[in-house]
Structure formats: structure tokens, C-alpha cells
């Protein structure tokens, strides 16, 4: 019954691919504990974000702060990516095409939010996310904060802890 309800709720026609990562761009995903920041940025901006992340990672290693290192992650996906998933193990994977609604209990978009409708968090197979170009979306505690999106410079400050 749950699967039928989810399929009806998330019929294929309701899926919108917001933006597709093009040549000269990357999808970036930065995770800080239970907060995600993600979006499509230029290759140059992705390089800036990656360099900042590596600097902070090196500082934490030098300080032997392995507890914090365990909750920080940074991923990039290339051209053609239309959405990415986050599974219960904390693993990310990028995809092309339209997500199959039978595979995901919740899909988050940059301009709309679809709630769990009472589903237990442990029942979720994965979260799937779409994104918008030059709009770094903030996702935390199972919700998208549409009023608190970031640009590249503000994300770099967040990574630095400023």
C-alpha cells in the first residue's frame, strides 16, 4: 500500500529536472554533519570550493580532529547529472535522467519541498535531490530551506567556519 501511495504521490509527470549539469560546470555537494549544500556551479567555482575543502581537511588532520573529519564530505559530479542521491549509509551517487518514483520515498527540489507524510525515517531507501544552476541549496534535518540558499563565496565561508 505504501509503495502504491508513493507512486501515485510522485507520478512521473510531477518530476521536473530543474537544471542539467552542462559542459564547463559541475554539481557540487558539501556535507557538514546533517546539513547539505548542493548546486550547479562553474568548473572554476567548483575548483575554489574543492581547494577550500582540502585546506580545511588538512587543518583538521593536523589538529587530529578526526571526529569532525568524519562528518564532512565533498563530492562533485560532471556534465549530464540531473539529480543525486544520499542513502542511509551517507553515500552519494549522481545520475542522469528522471528519478523513478518507486525508488525514492522523498525527492527534494530547489523550488518545492515534498514532505515524508509521516513515514518513519528508517523506512527511507534514499533521498534524491535535484538542483538549480548558480543556486546552492541548503538542506538540513529533512527539509529544504528555500530562503537560505547560498552562493559560492558564502559556501566557502561556511566551509572555513566563518
The predicted-structure confidence for 41-52, as pLDDT tens digits, reads as follows: 999 999 999 999
Parent domain of 151: 2-12+27-160
Residue 20 lies in a domain: no
Structural domains in the chain (count): 1
Residue 117 lies in a domain: yes
The predicted-structure confidence for 29-86, as pLDDT tens digits, reads as follows: 999 888 899 999 999 999 999 999 999 999 988 998 877 888 889 999 999 999 998 8
Sheet holding 126-129, edge to edge: 92-95, 83-87, 126-129, 106-108
Residue 21 lies in a domain: no
Distance CA 80, CA 76 (A): 12
- The whole-number average pLDDT for the span 107-112 is 66
Amino acid at each position: 500500500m505504501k509503495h502504491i501511495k508513493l507512486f501515485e504521490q510522485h507520478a512521473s509527470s510531477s518530476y521536473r529536472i530543474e537544471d542539467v549539469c552542462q559542459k564547463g560546470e559541475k554539481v557540487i555537494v558539501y556535507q557538514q554533519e546533517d546539513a547539505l549544500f548542493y548546486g550547479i556551479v562553474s568548473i572554476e567555482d567548483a575548483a575554489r570550493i574543492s581547494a577550500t575543502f582540502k585546506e580545511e581537511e588538512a587543518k583538521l588532520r593536523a589538529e587530529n580532529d578526526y571526529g569532525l573529519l568524519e562528518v564532512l564530505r565533498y563530492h562533485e559530479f560532471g556534465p549530464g547529472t540531473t539529480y543525486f542521491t544520499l542513502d542511509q549509509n551517507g553515500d552519494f551517487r549522481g545520475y542522469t535522467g528522471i528519478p523513478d518514483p518507486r525508488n525514492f520515498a522523498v525527492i527534494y527540489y530547489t523550488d518545492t519541498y515534498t514532505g515524508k507524510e509521516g513515514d518513519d525515517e528508517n523506512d527511507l531507501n534514499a533521498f534524491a535531490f535535484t538542483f538549480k544552476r548558480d543556486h546552492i541549496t541548503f538542506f538540513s534535518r529533512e527539509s529544504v530551506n528555500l530562503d537560505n540558499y547560498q552562493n559560492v563565496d558564502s559556501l566557502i565561508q561556511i566551509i572555513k567556519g566563518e
